[in-house]
Amino acid sequence: MSDAQEPVFNIEKLYVKDLSVEVPNAPAIYLDREAPQIDVNMSTESHPVGEGMYNTSITVTVTAKIGDKTMFLIECSQAGIFRIQNVPQDQLPMVLGIGCPNIVFPYLRETVSDVVVRAGFPPLLLNPVNFEALFVQQQQAQQQAQQQAAAPAQTH
């Protein structure tokens, strides 16, 4: 087997694509000692950006509230550019949906924690994410949607 056919997986660049921090109720919110309710929404996205080059990003929105008052709102999109070559086409979705997010996530986690501290709050560590389980769930949902779309409408 020649070197040209060996699978290639390289991290070309890791970067913060977008970052926003809001503390809408400052300074009064800093005097509130109640523990906030934390809501985290996350999504991943991958797309080609050149021959054998792919961009994978994870976007997270973290909202901390005390009652109906927002303590802070953070939106962060952390991304990476990856060189992926000579990987079988049927394995590429797994590399993009599991492997790349697993590499990007620790950087996202660090960025969010750092921003929360810089906003004047105690550190917030995002819980680990099982990207393999999420990938399987997404694949199953897509298959179900395709089956439902392919099934002829039944009338009685």
Q: Kindly list the averaged pLDDT for each block of 10 residues, start to end, along the chain of length 156.
A: 76 98 96 92 95 96 96 98 95 95 97 96 94 90 85 60
pLDDT tens digits for range 17-41: 999 999 999 999 999 889 999 999 9
Report pLDDT for 73: 98
How many Å apart are CA 55 and CA 83, to the nearest integer?
9
Q: What is this structure's pTM?
A: 0.86
Distance between CA atoms of residues 49 and 110, nearest Å? 26
pLDDT at 153: 58
Annotate 67-135 with DSSP letters as a single string: TTEEEEEEEEEEEEEEEEES--TTTHHHIIIIIHHHHHHHHHHHHHHHHHHHTTS----PPP--HHHHH
Rounded distance between C-alpha atoms, residue 34 and residue 65, angstroms: 10
pLDDT for 143? 86
Domain ranges of the chain: 3-125
Sign of CA dihedral 42, 108, 52, 95: negative
Q: What is the pLDDT of residue 1?
A: 45
Q: How many CA atoms lie within 13 A of 17 on its CB side?
A: 17
CATH class of 3-125: alpha beta
